[in-house]
Amino acid sequence: MTRRRGGGGGGGWAGGFGGPEPDLTRRPGTGRKTLRLIAGFFAPYRVRLTFIGVLILITVSVGVVNPILLKLIIDNLLPGGPRDLGLLYFQTGLMIVLPIATSAVGVWQSYLSNVVGQRVMNDLRLALYTHLQRMPLRFFTETRTGEIQSRIANDVGGVQSVVTDTAASVLSNFATVATTIIAMLILDWRLTVLSLGLMPVFAYITFRVGKVRREVSTLTQRSMAEMSAITEESLSVSGILLSKTFGQQEASIERFRAESQRLGDLQVRGQMIGRWFFALIGTFFSIMPAFVYLLAGSLIIGGDTNVSIGTIVAFTTLQSRLFFPLGQLLNVQVEIQGALALFDRIFEYLEMEHEITDAPDAVDLSPGAMRGGVRFDHVSFRYPVAATQLEVAPEAAAAEAEGRAVPTAIQPFALTNITFNAEPGQLVALVGQSGSGKTTSTYLIPRLYDVDAGSVSIDGIDVRGIKLESLGRVVGFVTQETYLFHDSILANLRYAKPDATMEEIEVASRAAAMHERITELPDGYDTVVGERGYKLSGGEKQRVAIARVLLKDPRVLILDEATSALDTVSERLIQAALQRLMEGRTTIAIAHRLSTILRADQILVMSRGRILERGSHDELLRNEGLYAKLYHEQFVTEASG
Alpha-carbon span 562 to 564, nearest angstrom: 6
Q: Is the pLDDT of residue 321 over 80?
A: no
**How far does Cα 41 stand from its chain's mean position?**
16
**Across 301-305, 437-441, 566-570, which has the greatest mean pLDDT?**
437-441
Where is average pLDDT lowest: 152-161, 296-305, 385-394, 567-576? 385-394
* Own/partner pairs, 167-172, CB within 8 angstroms, 24+ separation: 167/42, 167/113, 167/117, 168/52, 168/56, 168/109, 168/110, 168/113, 168/117, 169/328, 169/332, 170/329, 170/332, 170/336, 171/52, 171/53, 171/56, 172/56, 172/59, 172/60, 172/325
Say if residue 641 is exposed, middle or buried (CB neighbours under 10 Å; 0-12, 13-18, 19+).
exposed
pLDDT at position 462: 93
Strands (E) across 480-609 are located at 556-560, 586-590, 602-607
| CATH number for region 367-640 | 3.40.50.300
375 CB contacts (<8 Å, ≥6 apart)? 420, 421, 422, 456, 457, 458, 460
Region 534-557: mean pLDDT is: 83
Region 341-361: mean pLDDT is: 83
Give pLDDT tens digits for 235-254. 665 666 556 555 666 777 78
Phi then psi dihedrals of residue 380, to 5 deg:
-130, 145
Spatial strand order of the sheet with 374-381 comes to 415-422, 374-381, 453-458, 461-462
Q: How confident is the model at residue 611 (pLDDT cuts 50, 70, 90)?
A: very high
Q: Which residues pair with 427 in a beta bridge?
A: 587
Comparison of pLDDT for 403 and 328, the residue scoring more: 328
Phi then psi dihedrals of residue 376, to 5 deg:
-100, 120
CATH superfamily of 38-350: ABC transporter type 1, transmembrane domain (1.20.1560.10)
Give pLDDT tens digits for 133-175. 888 888 887 777 777 777 777 777 777 777 776 767 777 777 8
Where is average pLDDT lowest: 96-110, 203-217, 560-574? 560-574
Alpha-carbon span 23 to 142, nearest angstrom: 11
Where is average pLDDT lowest: 331-340, 345-354, 524-533? 331-340
411 CB contacts (<8 Å, ≥6 apart)? 382, 396, 400, 608, 609
Comparison of pLDDT for 281 and 48, the residue scoring more: 48
SS3 letters for 379-416? EEECCCCCHHHHCCHHHHHHHHHCCCCCCHHHCCCCEE
Where is average pLDDT lowest: 215-224, 473-482, 493-502, 616-625? 215-224
Q: Mean pLDDT in the chain?
A: 76
Instruction: Assign 442 to helix, strand or coil.
Output: helix
Domains 38-350 and 367-640 share a fold: no
Q: Which helix (H) or strand (E) holds 193?
A: helix 189-196
Q: Which residues pair with 374 in a beta bridge?
A: 422, 458
Q: Which helix (H) or strand (E) holds 219?
A: helix 199-234
Region 533-554: mean pLDDT is: 82
pLDDT at position 638: 54
Instruction: Assign 22 to helix, strand or coil.
Output: coil
Structural domain spans, the chain: 38-350, 367-640
Distance (Å) of CA 188 to CA 31, 299, 304, 563 = 38, 11, 12, 88
Q: What percent of the chain has pLDDT over 90?
A: 7
Q: How confident is the model at residue 20 (pLDDT cuts 50, 70, 90)?
A: very low
- Structure pTM? 0.65
